[in-house]
Homo-oligomer: A and B are copies of this chain.
């Protein structure tokens, strides 16, 4: 089996998933979600021409240095001035309050002197009318449908548009299955040949950081019955992520059992380090992604493949754009597999500096935890000299 380039593997896993159907959520829960259809503004904003400052409103024709005007009322937010107003008169006006009519200006409080019901304008006046015109922000009926996850400020805009609920892509439910006779859960006492299951915790946090709903299932033993039982618990999930059991060894039953349960299996060896083996396919209503059992390989494969799948399922752009940094050391030639080196970033005046860890053993979690980036050494590239600009992926 020849090695599959990372880009091709990504295309294939992305082809397995589609944006999930819409659900209705209250505006309050809209952050990070992608809208499936446009909304329209229910009103015009500002709904009226209003004051941008605390001060006095007067007719533009009276806006002259040292002019003296009679204060005949006030307009406050929520309580507009209802009376008449003629030339030579002014009203006290507060930020956000409606102006009595068009054709006026607001003079800032600090540019006036008040005595009783009379104000005198300052000697020198600005050309600014300090009025926010009606409809400056948006008009009633204006559509809004950004092609990206909604941010905090979008929610503010939608609120101002009087949109109380949204149609957004449903969150993917991800069932996470660790497999292996050697695994026990944290808090248990491992037998002499056993280790604590760690992959599920990493993948669950990655899924949640990406906006998915993680369901951590019990550890599946390396036998058909245990695997079938755990796959049964995964029913209803949009995506089933396994780790371990996806290699070619004699004890790798996950693929076989999943195939018996309907998996249209693809199994690839990918031209990457770490994390060569990957399994993926449709399995009934769900999609299965089989990560390697090694935690470092599983983490890197999740960054490269699971993250874009979850993005696509939520209606986001699945493309991950690598960032750029300056290499902090010399590196030898890379060989036939693209190497995702665990690395640390440090700030400089320009691009950040990236320094890979000396020990790139894919069994070492303590180094993986310290890393904040994956330095990308493209296959068959290098040697790379210190100071070269390289690409990297920030780690979740």
- Tell me the dominant secondary structure on chain A's binding face: loop
Knowing A78-B222, A160-B198, say if A47 contacts B190 (CB, 8 Å). yes
A25 within 8 A of partner (CB): no
A96 within 8 A of partner (CB): yes
Q: Which of B152, B349, B368 contacts A206 (CB 8 A)?
A: B152
Residues from 264 to 299 in A contacting B, C-beta threshold 8 Å: 293-295, 299
Closest-CB distance, A293 to chain B (whole angstroms): 7
Residues from 128 to 170 in A contacting B, C-beta threshold 8 Å: 132, 136-138, 146, 151-165
Closest-CB distance, A317 to chain B (whole angstroms): 13
Q: Which of A57-65, A243-251, A328-336 contacts B (4 or more CB under 8 A)?
A: A243-251
- A43 and chain B: residue at smallest CB distance: B190
Q: Which of A181-189, A227-235, A380-388 contacts B (4 or more CB under 8 A)?
A: A181-189
- A298 and chain B: residue at smallest CB distance: B156
Q: Which of A11-19, A119-127, A255-263, A359-367 contacts B (4 or more CB under 8 A)?
A: A359-367
Copies of this chain present in the complex amount to 2
Q: What is the bound-complex CA distance between A364 and B160, given in angstroms? A: 10
Q: What is the bound-complex CA distance between A382 and B385, given in angstroms? A: 38
Closest-CB distance, A303 to chain B (whole angstroms): 10
Residues 63-103 of A, flagged 1 when their CB comes within 8 A of B and 0 if not, give 00000000000001111100000000000101111100000
Knowing A180-B77, A187-B164, A192-B48, say if A153 contacts B395 (CB, 8 Å). yes
User: Which residues of B have CB within 8 Å of A97?
Assistant: 182, 193
